[in-house]
Each structure stands twice: as structure tokens, then as C-alpha cells.
Structure 1
């Protein structure tokens, strides 16, 4: 294995697995496998990049660090020459979040400083300028992320935000240096390391900027960032003669289908509304779930009664509705109850013969994936930017795990068609 990725959630893991499998146009990518948690057995020798999906974004810091170091140990045992710590392109974290502590712990374990930290993903509108994160033309703090139910982001200044979480100062490689090329970036990172800056925010507004960062880090033991930071990494291994350039293959999966959505993002709410115009949907009341009146039996019955018509069961309230529910029951209690509901529903659906499953929301996807014992996942074609097809030979199921903010308006229907092999 050449490259190892430690991802702090399941949808983000699929996102960067997709990036690594695609590579740069005309060059191909790496042979990628995704794992739900740290594997307990060696990887297939044909795998060139292993992506370990953790559910560590919102857990206590000590737990996130321990999980990430366990993942690092497995990847190093597989021979990985480079490690990427992958987090969300909207830097989902709080002042006491896990990005800084995990990044520093991995850097310490690998004996490195001056490590790139760049969540930019221009394809979906995430860019970094002078250390500030933008979503399309708005600062992160005005993008809707300030209302995230678990990891609200009220500050677009990544250096300031990350410094709340780190033991040492946070550096910056500004756009003016990035545009000078890989050599200038490497020199700036070396100086940052000499100043004691373990993590260094790097500006990036285009894919070309990300390719420069990737080339600058060709020999770096560690990078951190969103999936965009991996755009140029396969080319480094291909140029070095260590990889030949992989092309994804997917034959399609037929059979019963289901959609589960637990994201409250504006994008997912719009997708639910669009889907409801032509397909059956079941709205899940948080109050009903918390009272025990709605459970997995209800969701499974709804899905089974509408097989063939792309049924969707969802809990996707407005920010105001989510805050009200959290006030009544407690943030962690609501999240735990809904995650458990979707996880058990998915487990029963797959056990009952569902072979195509679409899940929206990072936390929801994590809960579902952990419940299914999927084994090694192969990476199929991209459905929408950041969302690939995932196939589990162990369970005979094809999945699309979507971050809340990703996907076109008609994503749910299009994803089920893609899982069947009909890629539009």
C-alpha cells in the first residue's frame, strides 16, 4: 500500500476515496479500498491506497486521537509511504474540536512539523484565501454552517479557529506563495516548521492550486485537509513509477432500493423536497422518535411497501426545528436516538434483501455503515462531485453515502439509478 487516509467520518472517506481513484484527467488514479473502521486483517495486496473511515469528528478528543493513532499504526504496517488526515471541506469542528488534536498527534507520531492543512474543494465551492474559508462567494460563517447542529462554524478564519485546538501556533502559506509553485511551498513549510508551527493553513482557490500543494508534498509523510488535497497525489506515485494509473470499474447492482436521510443541511432539505414531488417519502418526527412511537419497524414497513418507487425516509428539519428539539431533549440524546434509528433500519433492510442504499448526512452515514459490517469497499464511478459508488462484496450491496451539503437537487433518484449501473 502506497498511501493511507484517516478520515474523520464516513461520507468524507468516500469523498477522498473517489478523488484518489479518479486522479488527474488522462493519468488515472490509484487502486483504492475503503474500510469502515480499522481493519483487523491485512489489506488485499492489490490495494494502492487505503481509506479508513472513522466516526471521530464529534467524539471526545482522547477517543478521536486514539482511533486515529490506531488507524495510523495499521496503515504503517501495510507499508504506506504517505498519510492523509481527511476532514470536511467546511472544517466541521468546534473550538474544542478534534481537527487540531488529531493533526498534532499524527504529526508527532510521524516526527514531522510544517504540515499542510487545507480543506479547500473548489469543485463544490470551498476555497481558502488568506487563511479564511469560503463556501462559494460567502464566508464560512455566513454559509449556513454557523447553524450546524453538532459542529457550528461561526468563524471563517481557520488559523484562529484551529489555534483554539492546538498546542502550538498555526501557520499560513498564502496564495502568493502557492502561485510560485511547489518549490516555494516546500520552502515556506520548512520555515513554518522552524517557527514551531506543526499545522499550516494553505490557501487554494482552484484545482491547480491543489495540484501545486500535492506536488510540494510529494515526499511529505503527512498532509491534512479535505478531499481536494488529494487531487494531485496519485500523479506523484505514477511519476515515481510506483503506480500505473488505475481506472474504476462498476457493473451495476440491481434489486430493491431505499433512501435514508438524516441531514439538516439546506442542500439535503432541497433534495428531499424535490424527491417528494415524484416519489413516496416518510417524514420522521423527532418528538415521535424520542417518545418511542416511531421506530425501525415503521421505516422498514414504509420502504418495503414502496419498493420500486425509490422510497425515502427522512429526518431533515430546519435549523430552528433542530434547535428546538435539542433544547427539549438534549443535543446528544437526539443525535444518538436518530443515529440508532437509521442504523437499525438499514441493518434490517439489508438483511431483508435491499441491495441499493443511499444515505444522506455524515453522522447518519457513519451510524449506518458501522451497523452493516460491510468489509472492504471498492470504489466505483462518481455520482456527483464528492460522492462515489461504494460496493461491498461481503454484503452484496451498493451504496452512496452523501455528505449533507453535496449533490444536485435530484441526487436521490440519480444515485439509485447510478447504483443500478445507469450513470447519467
Structure 2
């Protein structure tokens, strides 16, 4: 196994799987209980749900997943987190990276959140979303991980006891980048990267590293450095049949995609989710099956409405209720023969995968940057981070999953 990776949420892991697969490596995404052994894929990604859980829980789950990957023969480990470094000052990126670095004996660890294709870049140690600093982007108002400081050196230093340094763009692009990195006086190093050429430079730079961390783009840079282009990949086919779309993300991108979708829609309210019983789930499933076009069920709301619901009922209670409702609905719809599932939102995607009982996916073609089509037996699934995809994403995803 050339690359063994863990991701701190489900859609981020699918995003990474997509990037590595597009670079040419046969890739499988694992979720839920891990099997005794992997198949013979060149890259394996274990999707975890550790972004917002307590630190000790995140560290333990990450260590266990990496131990499994090493037992499968993984030659190098990649710890994937969001390209916008989603975490809090008390968050898990630093502690997980520190634990893995200790376990793997890594003297220096690069942090490469940049994903230039989606507008996430790091320059002078500061993270930008498009032409805005992270702290001036909508991520500053994220309901779980508000990113209020664009200086990743400062943010990471709050999470770890390790020294935090910086690999400037000029050094990365110089001929002696490897030597400069080897001489760095910090164990954790934030790397600048503003285009795909920088990602490829970083991929070559970490080729022999035991551990690298970052967003999905560094996975493709690493795969290309391994010479992945031209390697054999399996053939992917779509399926016809019933389909459903589910949205739990409250990002501006997802809200725009919901507004642009012209099929049947139904809103799932917080009150409905909090009180959802078996009868409600069956009623909701029946509504889906009655539609003559793929319907969309959305629990997504503008940020102020989400905040109001969280203040009234409690943040964790609201999130858990919505996730559980989508998981139960997905299970019911699979029983009724629905074969295509398009899901928006990281937590929602993880819940739907759990409800469907899926523990691993084959990675197929790209639907949008960061979003692959996935296969699990007869099912075809698209699981996207809230911020990804254009306004027509839902239509595009349905077409790709159908094989068009």
C-alpha cells in the first residue's frame, strides 16, 4: 500500500480519496468497523469522525486507524483535515498530529492545508479563501469550528506543545528546499502553497516522510510524486433507478445549491428531527417514493436560524437529532429500493453512510473538485462537504451516479 490515510470527517475523507484516485491510484475509502485486512488497493483512506470530538477520543481513534493501516503495509501515512483547518484553539489537529508523529518517529511534520483548485491557499503562513483571509470568510461564523485567526502558525501553536515553524513560498520554490526543511528548528511546519505547482513540489518534498498532514490536495501531490499516472484503475459504472438528495450543511454553497435545484423539495425542521419516531421516518420515506423526480430533503438553514435552534435546544442535541433522522431515513429508503444517494454536509454524509450500513467504497469518477462518485455494492453515492460544488451540483451528481 503506497498511501495509508486517515481523515477527520467523512466528506473530507471522500475528498481525499477522490484526489488520490484522480491522480491515478486505485483507491478505497473505509468507514465504520475496519475489516481484518484490506484489499489490494494502492491507497486506502479511513474515514473517521474526529474533527469535533474530545481530544482524547480523537487521538485514540486516529492511532487505532493508523495502526490498522500500518498492518496493511502502508508505506507512508497522511493525516487529512479540512483545507480551511477547521478546528478550535482546543481542537484536535495539533494533538492528533503530535500523537502520530511520536508513534511514527517523525522528526519534522509538514502541514499542507492548501487546496488551490478550491481557492484555499496559504501564503506567509496565513490561510486565504479566495482573495479573503480565512477570518474574513464565511468560515469565521462556522457553527462548530469558527475560524477567526488566519495565521495557522498561531492557531496550531495553541493546540500543541510542539514548536511551530514556517516553510515560506520562496524557500519551497528554491532548489535547496529539502535541505532547508531538514535544517528547520521546528517539529511542526506550516507550508505555503498557492498553486498546483507548489502542491507538486511539496509532494516530492514529503515523498520519504513517515507522516504528512494537510488537506486533500497534498494527497494528489504525493500520488503524482509516486508516479501514479498510468497505473491501472478499476472500471466504474453508474446505475439507474430511484434517487434521493439529502442536505444537512448550512454553508452558503449548499444553500445556493438547494435554491438552484428545481426538483421536489421538503424541509426537515429541527422540531421534526427532535421528535422523529418510526412512523415519521416511514411517512418521510413514503413522500420520497411518491415523487416522480429525485426529491431533496433539506435540514439546511441560514446561520442565524441554526444559532437560534442551538441556543434553544442545545448544539449537540440538534446536530445528533438531524444526523439520526437522516441515517434512519437512508436505511428505510434502501429497504425500499433507492439506489442513488446524494448527500451534502460532512456530518450528514457520515450519518447516511452509517444508516446504509456501508463500511467501504470504491472510488469512481469526479463529480466536482473534491467530490467523487462512490460505489458500495449496488449503491451509487455522492458525499460532499458543504462548501464544495457549483450551483448545479445536485443535477450533476445525479447524472454521474446514473452513468451519464
Normalised by the size of structure 2, how large is the TM-score? 0.96
1:5-404 matches, cutoff 5 A: 5-23=5-23, 29-37=24-32, 39-45=34-40, 47-181=41-175, 183-184=176-177, 186-192=178-184, 195=185, 197-238=186-227, 245-247=231-233, 249-275=235-261, 278-292=262-276, 295-306=280-291, 308-393=292-377, 396-404=378-386
CA displacement 1:8-34 (0-9 Å, x = unmatched): 1111111111111111xxxxx111111
In the other structure, the counterpart of 2:3 is 3
Verify the 8 A CA contact 1:310 1:413 in the aligned structure 2.
no
Q: Structure 1 unaligned runs (5+)?
A: 24-28
Work out the CA distance in 2 between the residues paired with 1:142 and 1:313: 30
* Equivalent residue number for residue 391 of structure 2: 409
Q: Secondary structure at the residue paired with 1:232?
A: helix
Segments of structure 2 that go 5 or more residues without pairing to the other structure are: none
Distance in 2 of aligned mates of 1:291 and 1:65:
33
1:112-171 C-alpha deviation (Å, 9 max, x unpaired): 122110111111110001111111011111110111111111111111111111111211
Structure 2 Cα separation of the partners of residues 365 and 125 of structure 1? 23
State the Cα distance separating 1:412 from its structure 2 match. 0.7
Please say which of residues 113-122 and 205-214 is displaced more in the overlay: 113-122
- Cα contact 2:265–2:295 (8 A) shared by 1: yes
Residue range with higher mean Cα deviation, 75-84 or 365-374 = 365-374
Deviation at 1:187, TM superposition (A): 2.3
The DSSP-based 3-state class of the residue aligned with 1:359 is strand
- For 1:152 and 1:100, the matched residues in 2 are separated by 17
The alignment of Structure 1 onto Structure 2 pairs a total of residues equal to: 403
Does structure 2 retain, via aligned residues, the 8 Å contact 1:6–1:51?
yes
Taking the aligned partners of 1:58 and 1:298, their CA distance within structure 2 comes to 32
SS at match of 1:288: helix
Q: Using the alignment, how far apart are the partners of 1:355 and 1:348 within structure 2?
A: 12
Asked if structure 2 preserves the Cα contact closer than 8 Å seen for 1:289 and 1:295, the reply is no
Q: CA deviation at 1:104?
A: 0.8
TM-score (norm 1): 0.92
- The SS at the match of 1:104 is helix
The corresponding residue for 1:26 is none
